[in-house]
Amino acid sequence: MRVAMIGTGYVGLVSGACFADFGHEVVCVDKDEAKIRQLEAGKMPIYEPGLDALVASNVAAGRLSFTTDGGAALANAEIVFIAVGTPSRRGDGYADLSYVYAAAREIAEAITGYTVIVTKSTVPVGTGDEVERIIRETRPDADFAVVSNPEFLREGAAIGDFKRPDRIVIGTDNLQASAKMQELYRPLYLNQAPILFTSRRSAELTKYAANAFLASKIAFINEIADLCEHVGAHVQEVARGIGLDNRVSPKFLNAGPGYGGSCFPKDTLALIKTAQDYGSPLRIIEAVSAVNDFRKRAMGRKVIAACGGSVRGKLIALLGLAFKPNTDDMRAAPSIDIVTALQDGGARVRAYDPAAMEQSRLLLTDVEYADDPYACIEGADALVIVTEWNAFRALDLDRVWMALNEKVVVDLRNVYRSDEMEGRGFVYASVGRPTHLNPVFERDGESGGLDTAWDETLFVVPPQAAE
Per-residue burial over 330-355, b = 16 or more CB atoms within 10 Å of its CB, e = otherwise: bbbbbbbbbbbbbbebebbbbbbbbb
Q: How far apart are CA 151 and CA 165, in angstroms?
A: 10
Q: Encode the chain in three state secondary structure.
A: CEEEEECCCHHHHHHHHHHHHCCCEEEEECCCHHHHHHHHCCCCCCCCCCHHHHHHHHHHCCCEEEECCHHHHHHHCCEEEECCCCCECCCCCCECCHHHHHHHHHHHHHCCCCEEEEECCCCCCCHHHHHHHHHHHHCCCCCEEEEECCCCCCCCCHHHHHHCCCCEEEECCCHHHHHHHHHHCHHHHHCCCCEEEECHHHHHHHHHHHHHHHHHHHHHHHHHHHHHHHHCCCHHHHHHHHHCCCCCCCCCCCCCCCCCCCCHHHHHHHHHHHHHHCCCCCHHHHHHHHHHHHHHHHHHHHHHHHCCCCCCCCEEEEECCCCCCCCCCCCCCHHHHHHHHHHHCCCEEEEECCCCHHHHHCCCCCEEECCCHHHHHCCCCEEEECCCCHHHCCCCHHHHHHHCCCCEEEECCCCCCHHHHHHCCCEEECCCCCCCCEECCCCCCCCCCCCCCEECCCCCCCHHHHC
**What does residue 197 show for φ and ψ, rounded to 5 degrees?**
-95, 130
- Show which residues are catalytic: 263
C-beta separation of 64 from 41 below 8 A: no
